[in-house]
Amino acid sequence: MKKLIFSLLVLTAVLFMASCENYETYGDKKAKEREAINQYIARESIKVISESQFKAQGGVTKVEDNEYVRLDRTGVYMQIVREGCGEMLEENKSVNILCRFTETNILADSVLASNSEHFYFYNSSVGWIDGSDFVDKINVTRTGTTISASFIEGVMLMRHPSSSSVPAGWLVPLNYVNIGRPENENEETSLVRLIVPHSQGTADAASSVYPCAYEITYMREK
């Protein structure tokens, strides 16, 4: 009997130690996220510039040099590919914006959602859906440099149904690009590329601690 009890105690201790070794703290997950972002930056040959250099360049990231500016307050990396036509968001006014995007989990190196290319996902109500059939619509309000927004419809709302709030990382570029609607062949929508840490991402990213890369266009609704 004593031998049996001793064996059970040893087994319990071994299982406990194994579970401790497999347990990741929040700090461990954040460290893994930082490493994944650094590896992504190296793999994509991204040149990171400071906010001061970004301002000195007139709020421009040189796409030919694959520049991204790291914004210190949020930790978001941003490349402005196209500034876009029209004007910047007005203050104290709600505006509907249409977005085309691709969302990539950097940690898993996999596309999570997209409506700018053929991306198929399953919806329990209607079955398999091609994301390219949809345009994401968000309602945005700007007060000074503070911007709040929620999804009205689209792929992000279907893929991340736990929250209708637009990820903070999506809103960062709206302080730097124009939100217009092209009316001739010489005008284009604004286009940005982002690296968004979990703290500025979706509710899913925040809870699981993974960073995402985004390519997003913004166009004012009629």
Whole-angstrom Cα distance, residue 197 to residue 105? 10
- Asked whether residue 1 is assigned to any structural domain, the reply reads no
CATH of residue 124's domain is: 3.10.50.40
- The pTM of the full predicted model, rounded to 2 decimals, is 0.88
Domain limits at 163? Answer: 26-220
Q: What is the pLDDT of residue 177?
A: 97
Tell me the H-state helices in the chain: 2-22, 26-43, 51-56, 155-159, 168-171, 203-208
Sign of CA dihedral 183, 184, 185, 190: negative
pLDDT single digits (tens) 101-158? 999 999 999 999 999 989 999 888 888 999 999 999 999 999 877 899 999 999 999 9
Question: In 3-state terms, what secondary structure has residue 149?
Answer: strand
CB-facing half-sphere around the CA of 53: CA atoms within 13 A: 10
If one counts the domains in the chain, the total is 1
Q: What is the pLDDT of residue 66?
A: 98
- Asked whether residue 21 is assigned to any structural domain, the reply reads no
Partners of 162 in the β-ladder: none
pLDDT interval class at 14 (50, 70, 90): very low
